[in-house]
Amino acid sequence: MWLPLLGLILGIALGILTDIQIPAVYENYLSIAVLAALDTMFGGIRAQLQNIYDDKVFISGFFFNIALAAGLAFLGVHLGVDLYLAAIFAFGVRLFQNIAVIRRILIEKWEEYKLKKSENLPKAR
């Protein structure tokens, strides 16, 4: 589990230390891409906890969601409709749903663990 975390920290460190900035025009696209990435990541964690994790789905979802979100924002800018709001809404809702599911699964697991522990205790004596 520590390797992905290390990757995240490394990425953040590289980004901050190189001090890369993107033009203000593209700020919208990046923010939406970040949201899409977060959504994919939490989706991946949920899938892993539900034991339905698929590598291909995860990786394709990551890139496809980012491209779709940025594309939608791009289209919205050129059509004069704030389409990026649609992406923000969709990803936002999914993010909350995913986090809620993750929370429930973790609570269930914790309770199972507690139950097991209390069952095991008398035996240990």
Partner 1 sequence: MTKKMIIHITIISFIMGFMLAVQYNTVQRPEMIESTDIWDIRQKVASERNLHSSLLEEIRVAQQVVQQYETDAVTDAEAILINTVEDLKASVGLNAVTGPGVILTIEPAQELIDFGYELKEIPPALLIRLVNDIYRFNGRYIEIADQRLTNFSAIRDINGKTTVNSIPIGRAGIDIRVIADTQEEAAKLYNYLLASTFFDEFYIDNMQLSVELPTHDVTIQGTERIIDNKYLTVDKGD
Which positions lie near partner 1, rule CB under 8 A? 3-16, 19-22, 24, 27, 30-31, 33-34, 37-38, 40-41, 44, 48, 53, 55, 58-59, 62
Cα dist from 107 to 2, 92, 100, whole Å: 22, 23, 11
Q: Which is nearer to partner 1, 26 or 115 (CB)?
A: 26
> Are 39 and 95 within 8 A, CB to CB?
yes
Tokens of 85: 């709001």
CB nearer partner 1, residue 7 or residue 92: 7
Nearest CA to 38 out of 101, 106, 82, 92 is that of: 92
- Distance of closest approach, residue 104 Cβ to partner 1, in angstroms: 22
- Reference 69, options 94, 91, 43; nearest CA is 91
In the complex, minimum distance from the CB of residue 71 to partner 1, in angstroms, rounded to a whole number: 16
Least Å distance, CB 107 to partner 1, is 23
- Smaller CB distance to partner 1: residue 48 or 50? 48
